Structure 1
Amino acid sequence: MDGIFADARPGARLDLSVEFITKRPLGCDGETVFRLLVTDQAGNQFSILATPDSDSLWHLETGETYEITGLLGADPVDTDPAVARECPHCGDHLRAGQAIDAAGSAVVEAAEKLGLDKRFGILDEKSSLKPVNEDSTTVDDWLPMRDDQPVETPDYVCRSCDRHVAERDLARDEEPVLENMQADASMEPANSMASPETVGLAAGGAKDITSFRENVSNGYTPESEAISDEGLFYDYYFETGGRTATDSLFAPRYAAAVSDHPFTGETEQYLSVGLDSTLSVEEFERPRLDLVAVLDVSGSMSSAFDQYYYDEQGRQREAESGNETKLEAATQSLCALTEQLHVEDRLGVVLYNHRAHVAKPLRDVGATDMPAIRQHIRDIAAGGSTNMEDGFEAAVDMLADGTTGHGIERRVIFMTDMMPNTGETGAAELTERFADAAVDGIHTTFIGMGLDANAELADTVSGIRGANHYFIHSADEFEQRLGEEFDYMVTPLVYDLDLELDATGYEVEAVHGSPSADGASDQLMHVGTLFPSAKQDGKARGGVVLVRLTKTASDATLELQASWMERDGAEQTERVSVSMPDGESFGHDGVRKAVALARYARELRSWAGDVHDRADNATGVDDWLLPDKRGEHERESVPLVVPDEYRERFDGLRGYLTAEMDAVGDDSLQQELDLLDMLCRPEAAREAEVSE
């Protein structure tokens, strides 16, 4: 890097090497900004302001040389109040916006406190700083990909309230604020908001029902929790419907439906919340990651990937020669995951069985010999019991000193079969551990390994703020999926979406498509987290939450208040009114598809839960406790059984789903019909297919 600071331009980025002189912290706007004094290669001395969410400043030493990538140029704050415009928020005078304003009010305050009167640099979340080791015989020449376009500066900034004000906000006539706006769900969307090039959104929690499908195809009855609504919805793309224009990142869309249940004949009322955003695909950028991978290396991970560690008699199974083990799939998947990291990301690795071991401290990927780390991962062996709590606590300790902001994400990725049997094993206690970490800004992704991965525990813990979970069918498939959606997997965008019925005559009966559905009341729907999702022909993958309503009065009206918090901390509220149809009707094909899938999932959960209950109660209780007695989360296999009453019900469900597939024009629903076909076959024919 041979750049000199004289080449810096306001709002543009520059790469250069500098010699560090001194560092000074300043408390500004409730945060800490660091002022660095450095010289460039031409001997020019200048100042750098490091934003509160900037990259780690390392242990800077006077006289040492450092490489800076993406340093933002900025001019001193222009305090001339000559702009003859008034702030629409507080009425004070505005000043023209500058490049420094893009770095935040804390940096502006620091520049004013220091009295900076010459051009200076800003080290922000898109910049990185690394020491130069002149004695090294190798060079890490990997550079992070970044947007080299000048930063977008606000049109105006208020000197009193620090708000950024756009020219269009001053020009437009006075309009009612969003909180007081009444909108009808049938409104046509504004053209500017209907672009298919925006990022979709989907609820956190399960991101597939792989465990359910694979258990059935391998001749086992899956756990009922393995087919959650949000996991099933994420297999499909949904039309989200029309909405009114908004400046918020999250743009909820509403549609109503009334439909008779195909079996009971009861009339059911639904409200769909279409999950969409105003964030363009081009503007989306995942944050810098502080990521700790926590790998389960307990004995159960040595079992075959496509079998249960415990059979239906509770006996341990040894992996047959040539069969891929859960640990082999996990290590291959972890190696693939590391390929998605950027040099400015930081990676740590924790291994755990009956105890936790920090195998790799948290360090910048650019300063790590990643090929050597991947080889160490491939050499890991399994053995011992499973202390999930210790593994998580070790990861949290590694991340505890970091900070979380809209430009930095601290995340733990658990790769496990979710069968803890030592340490803290209670679902409530484990959930509390993960929830406490989430409050501190440390989020968790769970990757379930193997057919016997505990879907119930995964379903419980993944409803936590910022959490999601996946089940791996094969390492190759997971590697492909990482390439397609890793950035979306680790970037929660919206938190604490609440939809409150501010109406008479309707109550919330059930919520489909949210891992927090159990927390719903008769007047409130809650979704803990929304993640970005892909779009296809303008439809969002998993982009719906479905609310089943009960009408309690003939003159009922449906008024809603939606509130949420976006990743940058902005809190949003909007009010809408929705007209419910009198007879059978669907607002659009998206809500119709969601209703069909929710009914389908309810039937399959009822069957799977019933079969597991019968298996659990088939014999008396063996209360003799052995030293190696299995824990509450260790699952034994249950053979695939479809009682006659369910086979008849599935046959009717198959007819209903076929009609709905034709009505919405989505041939991908055929995979559900294929699963129902298998469940409806005679047992002998099904067993023959599984054995093949």
Structure 2
Amino acid sequence: MNSNHTDLRDGVRSDLTVEFVTQRTLESCGETVQRLVVTTDDGEEHELVVTPARSPIGGLETGNRYDFHDIVGCAPVDKAASAPARCPDCGDRLREGTTVDAIGDAVTEAATTLELSDVFGVVGEETTVTPVRDDDTNVDDWQPRPQNNQTQAVTAPDYVCDACGRHVSQHELRSHEDATADNAQIMADHAPAASADMASPETVGLAAGGAKDVTNFRENAESGYTPQPEAISDEGLFYDYYFETGAPTETDALFAPRYAAAVSEHPISGETERYLSVGLDSTLSVAEFERPRLDLVAVLDVSGSMNSEFDGYYYDEHGRKREAENDATTKLAAATQSLCALTEQLCDDDRLGVVLYNNRAHVAKPLRDVGSTDMDAIRRHIGEVSAGGGTNLEDGFEAAWDMLADGEPREDLERRVVFMTDMMPNMGATDESELTDLFADAADRGIHTTFIGMGLDANAELADALSGIRGANHYFVHSATEFEQRLGEEFAYMVTPLVYDLGLELETDECEIAAVHGSPSADDATGELMHVTTLFPSAKDDGEARGGVVLLRLDGGVGPVNVDLIASWTERDGSEHSQRVTVALPDGTESFDHDGVRKAVALARYARELRSWARNVHERAASTNGVDDWLPTDQRGEHERESVPLGVPDEYTARFEQLRAYLDAEMQAVGDDDMEQELALLDMLLEHGANRNPDTNQESER
């Protein structure tokens, strides 16, 4: 309990240690509320209003001291201050909403009846009231109490109609067909217009679900290992960059796709390629964005492989297990530190559960609201767990599913499972299709999953497959410190899918989709149809959206071609949308509608070449090791990876030299110095290739 709070601030939850003075009960909107008068230790008097759900509070005695935890500060309502807009329902004048409006009509009306003129406190269902005892003899004070003292803002509605009680958002006013001239004026004053300012930095960008980085790929190469090909997915690489998305189009939907075309000669093959980009942007302002309340279950892998070094391989040299010599370097240490950092992002009304799993799952912490949980104690317990045994990922997930199973999908609640694991299941369901079906079934019921990959040997292939499911995404942890920083920057975006089932159909006989870059469900594309399961919010920089592009490579068509596109999608609130546009594909050998599509083309070619190289080296390693017919009792499962030493065959040295020159030129053309990290990786591979004499000559991926 923080007894230093002696003031109440509008919209902020606070704790007060007070002396009780008096109380009054009154009827408001047909319900019972109470007014309490209390004084703090410094003699300041406060008035508290007790909500109908919490009334009556009994047993308070004048002169006794009490701890009130989780009081919401509310400014008084000025009903005379109307806003220049009218209610879409009854046509009466609206007024600007206040914090107390979000609490409920009975408290709002009571505050007006009591003529409260200063900020007052609201005692609700979540508020705990505890006597302050000077003598704690024989007092059992073991109870769930929050220790982190974080405050959580209470969001006021944009506008309120006192005549009919309607709460009205800016978005509703913007999309209301009969909006008056007054409404148009207030929207011009308070929010960006959808048709004119959607590319503004004040709107939220969008990015495809799936991988949110290529950390595992980079770290493996820098550590002297050939990465798994799936560790450099297009959407993971795109999320390292910001993209111009194109000119805005008028829409009332949250999702505002933009389209751009490109024609370019491949720097290595010399073939002319056509591209169509889908710019991922929204009409949702940063000010309007608010993550939903969370029911979050963290599932921590405590199997034996989590005891291995973070920067090594657990299964190596023909299946022999290699554990870390120093506990501080283990994957488990990084996982527990990362999980503790994640819990710091939760608000009091979020609910948290924790599952530990190895051979079997164990519910270490049942689902409970954070505000009534001793979070410091929970973090201590997380830091004390140990690892050992097998890896039953299926059992761990089903334990989490059981905790989240009650209830239906809701716009204002996100039910999410966060896995901290190296993705190497060897017990229960291990087949990729079985696991995919398991997670997809949960997603169909509104339970989504985030995978946090731990260690250099984390299975990128399985993570890539599972994160293509509706509502899913995955991250690789480089260090707990970096992950904590990332959580602070984008946690709300990580857990808030906004758009589902984006489909794009081409209506033309001139060309077809050859490949999709930037979506974990790229394999679902056919000749005419693209499908992206989920779009998450993303940050913007100078109007450009982080990861804000999906790129289509097209086959066919000679000369300029007009392509008719039909886009369809479902937004988080369940509304369905569709859009039909015509895009002109240019003729020629080098043409880009804007720098965003040009950057996406360059990065997609780079990622495709590196996947081809990694696949080539892994296939060579598998085919040249000879036969080891010694079968250890703990023979590796299909998801348990051995390392493959870094290797750069001769033909890839030549290709990488061409790729580097091309990427350098494109970096200069689009003006993005962040692409220097890709040049540095190619330089390292070229230097390594110059020091060895490979004997393979396998054709690369095209």
TM-score interval, smaller chain: 0.7 to 0.9
Quick check: 2:12–2:73 contact (8 Å CA) kept in 1?
yes
Quick check: 2:450–2:473 contact (8 Å CA) kept in 1?
yes
Matched, 1:528 2:533: yes
Q: CA deviation at 1:210?
A: 0.5
Partners in 1 of 2:418 and 2:59 — Cα distance? 35
Aligned to 1:659: 665
Quick check: 1:232–1:597 contact (8 Å CA) kept in 2?
yes
More deviation, 510-519/548-557: 548-557
Q: Structure 1 residues 490, 277: CA separation in 2 closer, same or farther (over 3 Å shift)?
A: same
Q: CA deviation at 1:158?
A: 13
> Residue 585 of structure 2 aligns to a residue in which SS?
coil
1:461 maps to a residue whose letter is: L
Q: CA deviation at 1:619?
A: 4.5
> Residue 557 of structure 1 aligns to a residue in which SS?
strand
Aligned to 2:480: 475
Aligned to 2:159: 152
**Aligned residue among 280, 286, 297 for 1:281:** 286
Quick check: 2:100–2:156 contact (8 Å CA) kept in 1?
no
1:581 maps to a residue whose letter is: P
> Residue 178 of structure 2 aligns to a residue in which SS?
helix
Partners in 1 of 2:376 and 2:497 — Cα distance? 29
Matched, 1:252 2:257: yes
Quick check: 1:309–1:317 contact (8 Å CA) kept in 2?
yes
More deviation, 225-234/142-151: 142-151
> Residue 382 of structure 2 aligns to a residue in which SS?
helix
Partners in 2 of 1:61 and 1:393 — Cα distance? 41
Partners in 1 of 2:154 and 2:459 — Cα distance? 42
2:159 maps to a residue whose letter is: E
More deviation, 314-323/421-430: 314-323
Aligned to 2:543: 538
1:346-361 matches, within 5 Å, as: 346-361=351-366
Matched, 1:605 2:611: yes
Deviation digits for residues 640-670 of structure 1 (CA, Å, limit 9, x no counterpart): 1111111111111111111111111111111
Quick check: 1:419–1:634 contact (8 Å CA) kept in 2?
yes
Matched, 1:673 2:676: no
> Residue 453 of structure 1 aligns to a residue in which SS?
coil
Aligned to 2:324: 319
Matched, 1:382 2:379: no
Aligned to 1:578: 583
Quick check: 2:235–2:520 contact (8 Å CA) kept in 1?
yes
Partners in 2 of 1:130 and 1:296 — Cα distance? 35
Aligned to 2:601: 595
2:666 maps to a residue whose letter is: E
Deviation digits for residues 578-604 of structure 1 (CA, Å, limit 9, x no counterpart): 111112210111100000000011111
Stretches of structure 1 lacking an aligned partner (at least 5 in a row): 2-10, 22-34, 51-56, 76-84, 122-126, 174-188, 688-692
Q: CA deviation at 1:196?
A: 1.4
> Residue 277 of structure 2 aligns to a residue in which SS?
strand
> Residue 389 of structure 1 aligns to a residue in which SS?
helix
Aligned to 1:197: 202
Q: CA deviation at 1:349?
A: 0.7
Deviation digits for residues 385-409 of structure 1 (CA, Å, limit 9, x no counterpart): 0000000001111111245422211
Q: Structure 1 residues 602, 133: CA separation in 2 closer, same or farther (over 3 Å shift)?
A: same
Aligned alpha-carbon RMSD (Å) = 4.2
Stretches of structure 2 lacking an aligned partner (at least 5 in a row): 2-9, 17-22, 38-46, 61-67, 78-85, 112-123, 132-138, 182-193, 694-702
Deviation digits for residues 510-540 of structure 1 (CA, Å, limit 9, x no counterpart): 1100011111111111111111111112111
Partners in 2 of 1:647 and 1:534 — Cα distance? 36
Deviation digits for residues 156-191 of structure 1 (CA, Å, limit 9, x no counterpart): 9999xxx96669732589xxxxxxxxxxxxxxx954
Aligned to 1:519: 524
Partners in 1 of 2:11 and 2:392 — Cα distance? 49
Quick check: 1:97–1:157 contact (8 Å CA) kept in 2?
no
Q: CA deviation at 1:340?
A: 1.2
1:623-662 matches, within 5 Å, as: 626-662=632-668
Matched, 1:169 2:166: no
TM-score normalized with structure 1 length: 0.79
Partners in 2 of 1:148 and 1:568 — Cα distance? 19
Aligned to 1:500: 505
Deviation digits for residues 37-79 of structure 1 (CA, Å, limit 9, x no counterpart): 665548x9x99799xxxxxx9xx9997999885599999xxxx
* Number of aligned residue pairs: 621
> Residue 678 of structure 2 aligns to a residue in which SS?
helix
Quick check: 2:210–2:235 contact (8 Å CA) kept in 1?
yes
Quick check: 1:506–1:552 contact (8 Å CA) kept in 2?
yes
Partners in 2 of 1:13 and 1:473 — Cα distance? 35
Q: Structure 1 residues 601, 62: CA separation in 2 closer, same or farther (over 3 Å shift)?
A: same
Deviation digits for residues 556-598 of structure 1 (CA, Å, limit 9, x no counterpart): 4211111111112222221111111112210111100000000
1:327 maps to a residue whose letter is: L
**Aligned residue among 397, 407, 411 for 2:412:** 407
Deviation digits for residues 254-278 of structure 1 (CA, Å, limit 9, x no counterpart): 1111111112222111111111112
Aligned to 2:126: 129
Quick check: 1:446–1:458 contact (8 Å CA) kept in 2?
yes
Aligned to 1:178: none
Quick check: 2:232–2:607 contact (8 Å CA) kept in 1?
yes
Partners in 2 of 1:278 and 1:524 — Cα distance? 25
Partners in 2 of 1:61 and 1:431 — Cα distance? 50
Partners in 2 of 1:534 and 1:681 — Cα distance? 36
Partners in 2 of 1:373 and 1:260 — Cα distance? 56
Identity of aligned residues (%): 63
**Aligned residue among 224, 227, 240 for 2:232:** 227
Aligned to 1:240: 245
> Residue 669 of structure 1 aligns to a residue in which SS?
helix
> Residue 159 of structure 2 aligns to a residue in which SS?
coil
Q: CA deviation at 1:12?
A: 9.3
Deviation digits for residues 265-303 of structure 1 (CA, Å, limit 9, x no counterpart): 221111111111122222222111111110000000000
**Aligned residue among 460, 463, 466 for 2:468:** 463
Q: CA deviation at 1:420?
A: 0.2
Aligned to 2:433: 428
Quick check: 1:520–1:526 contact (8 Å CA) kept in 2?
yes
> Residue 283 of structure 1 aligns to a residue in which SS?
coil
